[in-house]
Structure 1
Amino acid sequence: MPVDYSVYLVTDRGILGGRDLFKAVEDAIKGGASLLQLREKDISSRAFYDLAVKMKDLANSYDVPLIINDRLDIALAVDADGLHIGQDDIPLRIAREIMGPDKIIGYSVSNPEQALFGEKNGADYLGAGPVYATGSKADAGLPIGPGTLKTIKDSVSIPVVAIGGVGITNISEVKKTGVDGISVISAILGKLDIVEAAKNITGLWKDI
């Protein structure tokens, strides 16, 4: 079954201001989020595992694929739909060998050379960015802008998702590059009405 990369929600409990993560994610899915990545940097492996088990049940109930950020062990332990890794994580080729051919593997890139490497070494999709300045990831690096994003998209044949600072004001600019979707954190989870925010983002993406 083809994966819908259009509105790719990445979790960040810090942006929720104490609101319930599961309700927030469910609201985002109700509003149109098509893919979910569970991202946790500051909790124990056991806590991450417990969280991932519950999140997989939620995602499954809406037929939305669950991707685990960075943690190959957690992805395997909960039988997640996939794994997303960056340049400093476990090598892509090794991740593919361990995860097997049927799981989704995403790879973070910021230039065409990394994109070509990702495509060659087993990535199913690329997360390209940061396109714009973002406060969601401290080590995100300098913005690559829509120009480099388009170059990355044009250099590969696998799906590309725009990551970093994407929101209502620049969705049109991002979609013109030809990418397959947008990765969203604060533009959905940072809003008071998450269902409405997700509907707005999803509607904009589809209408452009």
Structure 2
Amino acid sequence: MTLSSAKPAFPAGIYGITAEKFSAGRTNVEVARAMIAGGIRLIQYREKRPAKSFAEMLAECRAIRELTRAAGVLFIVNDYPDLALLADADGVHVGQDDFPVPEVRRLLGPDKLIGLSTHEPAQAAAAVEAGADYIGVGPIFSTQTKEDVCAPVGLGYLDHVVRACPLPFVAIGGIKEHNIGEVVARGARTVCLVTEIVGAADIAATVRRLQATCLAAAGV
């Protein structure tokens, strides 16, 4: 599908996700600020209940929204369309067991991005039919960042999406500095690393280094 002219374009490069549990004592807002300093173009806020109340999450989302808006960075909220609306985020990312994409579209309207996590070809095809703007492809490799995550889908599913899915996508799951080049070389234009970034001693420098690795692997 083609994004409407009112929607922001889905950017290539590093897709940043907050994960306070792995952030070495730094807050999600501090991590987002450092990601922006490193030149990241998209940040997803990901926090799970009951670790924080909705009031705490909303306050963080609004603070990150201010930072991202000032820097021209896209801001996506994971799982919670209501938080995305209240924080005026650019969109929301949902999983297979969350609200269906058409229902999320009813809440957010036509001008927000909706991403959907997928783990197999049938889910990618269904995402196109449902009207998702982009999909998550993974977990490519084994990951401990999320609880109750499915088994790694491997590079074969990535190859399928590159070949057969018309939607933009982000490759995610177990991607590190040592294997990001292989993922990009196989056709991933947007790649997510979580702990590799949020747990880094120098987040901004790490983002810049990873962006450079992506460009090199893509032959840019």
- Per the shorter chain, which TM-score range? over 0.9
RMSD over equivalenced CA pairs, Å: 1.2
Residue 87 of structure 2 is aligned to residue 88 of structure 1: no
Q: What SS class does the counterpart of residue 170 from structure 2 fall into?
A: strand
For residues 71 and 189 of structure 2, the distance between their equivalents in structure 1, rounded to whole angstroms, comes to 21
Instruction: Note the C-alpha offset of 1:18.
Output: 1.1
| Residue identity in the other structure for 2:40 | A
Q: 1:189 aligns with which of 189, 198, 215?
A: 198
- Residues matched between the structures, number: 208
For residues 187 and 11 of structure 1, the distance between their equivalents in structure 2, rounded to whole angstroms, comes to 11
Partner residue, 2:153: 144
| Residue identity in the other structure for 1:46 | A
For residues 106 and 186 of structure 2, the distance between their equivalents in structure 1, rounded to whole angstroms, comes to 32
Q: What SS class does the counterpart of residue 117 from structure 2 fall into?
A: strand
TM-superposition CA deviations, 1:12-70 (whole Å, max 9, x none): 00111212332222111221221000001021111111111111001111110110000
TM-superposition CA deviations, 1:130-164 (whole Å, max 9, x none): 00111111122111111211112322111011010
| Residue identity in the other structure for 2:29 | F
Residue 137 of structure 2 is aligned to residue 131 of structure 1: no
1:1-208 equivalence runs, <5 A: 1-41=8-48, 42-208=51-217
For residues 193 and 187 of structure 2, the distance between their equivalents in structure 1, rounded to whole angstroms, comes to 17
Gaps of 5+ in 2: 1-7
For residues 116 and 183 of structure 1, the distance between their equivalents in structure 2, rounded to whole angstroms, comes to 21
For residues 160 and 73 of structure 2, the distance between their equivalents in structure 1, rounded to whole angstroms, comes to 29
Q: Is the 8 A contact 1:82 1:103 kept in 2?
A: yes
Work out the percentage of aligned pairs sharing the same amino acid.
34
Q: What SS class does the counterpart of residue 3 from structure 1 fall into?
A: coil
Moved more, 115-124 or 25-34: 25-34
Instruction: Note the C-alpha offset of 1:92.
Output: 1.1
Q: What SS class does the counterpart of residue 196 from structure 1 fall into?
A: helix
TM-score (norm 1): 0.96
Q: What SS class does the counterpart of residue 104 from structure 2 fall into?
A: helix
Divergent runs of 4+, >3 A: none
